[in-house]
Amino acid sequence: MEQIHFGKTFKKIRLAKLYDQTKVSGKILHQTSFSKFELGKIDITVSKFVELLNSIEMKFEEFLYVHNNYNYSLRDEIINKFNNLKFLDGDLLVELISDAQSYLHDKEDNLVRDILYSCQGLYILKTERDFKKAGFYANKVWKRLQKSNIWYLSDLRLINSILFLFPLDTARHIVQFADSQLDKYKKYTDYKKYILPFKYNLVHLFLREGYYEDAFKYNEELIEEFLEQKTYVQIALCYLRKGIIQEKLLMKNNIDYIQKAESIVTLFNDNSLKNQLEIEKGYLTQLLHL
């Protein structure tokens, strides 16, 4: 199927918004060049295209979605599904692995390749609970990222997804470096949604390695952050962890945080969260020998 030129999609959007050609092109492009672009006869520079998108109040991501007939390309679909992956969803991991392999069969892509490795590692962890075997795939991702002095958001999402597959000392170093990289993004939309998952996974590592006081400390910080953001799923999971850690440390408390986590499930009637709490509770109870 012939690929539609960006210019033709741009024209379609401009006309739908009832925007005049002259008003949109302004000082960005000469009228003749702009007309040729909308006819699909010439390409323009990225900087000019971004300016044109600003003139019709549209971000590049939305433009691509419209351009692809109100759908994601296979690559974008893989990336979006991976970025929205919650817990260790076995069915979604299988789907992502299949899609990534199909995409890479036709075209090499560093990000999609790393997503494939990450999903393969996570799927092994989900099905076999074999950290060593899963770590083999995590190291493939780490081998590339550790060479870079700067991480961008796609890098940070990747490394966070496999953080708990690393030894604790390595994971601490990664979180510290990620924090320094994310500091540059403090004014970026949804900045906290990138750093908080690092801390959440670090709590898991502390628990796995027996550093229960450190796990409790980080978990308390996370509860405050998630309460501020009103993200009930994460709040419930952190309450569950808090209750289990308190039980392990024989801490006296007037509130049953495990029951409090379960009450959130009841309040929102969230069966998916209910299942996840049951899995997490069973796993942590076994891990902490309770």
* pLDDT tens-digit map of 81-118: 998 887 678 899 999 999 999 999 999 999 999 999 99
Chain mean position to CA 45: 30
88/119 Cα distance (integer angstroms)? 9
Q: Kindly report the pTM of this predicted structure.
A: 0.82
57/24 Cα distance (integer angstroms)? 10
156/158 Cα distance (integer angstroms)? 5
237/279 Cα distance (integer angstroms)? 11
Q: Which two tokens stand for residue 237?
A: 């999971």
Measured from the Cβ of residue 221, the count of other Cβ atoms closer than 10 Å reads 13
What phi and psi, each to the nearest 5 degrees, are found at residue 129?
A: 55, 35
24/37 Cα distance (integer angstroms)? 13
Q: What residue type is 66 in one-letter code?
A: V
* The pLDDT of residue 2: 54
Residue by residue, DSSP assigns 202-220 as HHHHHHHHT-HHHHHHHHH
87/94 Cα distance (integer angstroms)? 14
Contact by Cβ (8 Å): 37, 28: no
225/150 Cα distance (integer angstroms)? 26
Three-state DSSP class for 248? helix
Chain mean position to CA 54: 26
35/44 Cα distance (integer angstroms)? 12
Cβ-Cβ contacts under 8 Å for 27 (sequence gap 6 or more): none
User: What domains can you pick out in the chain, each with its CATH number?
Assistant: 4-66 (1.10.260.40)
126/204 Cα distance (integer angstroms)? 15
150/178 Cα distance (integer angstroms)? 9
Tokens 């995409």, residue? Answer: 103
Cα angle 100, 103, 105 (rounded to 5 degrees) comes to 110
Give the residue from 13, 98, 122 showing the smallest Cα distance to 60.
Answer: 13
* The pLDDT of residue 1: 47
Low-confidence residues of the chain, pLDDT below 70? Answer: 1-2, 87
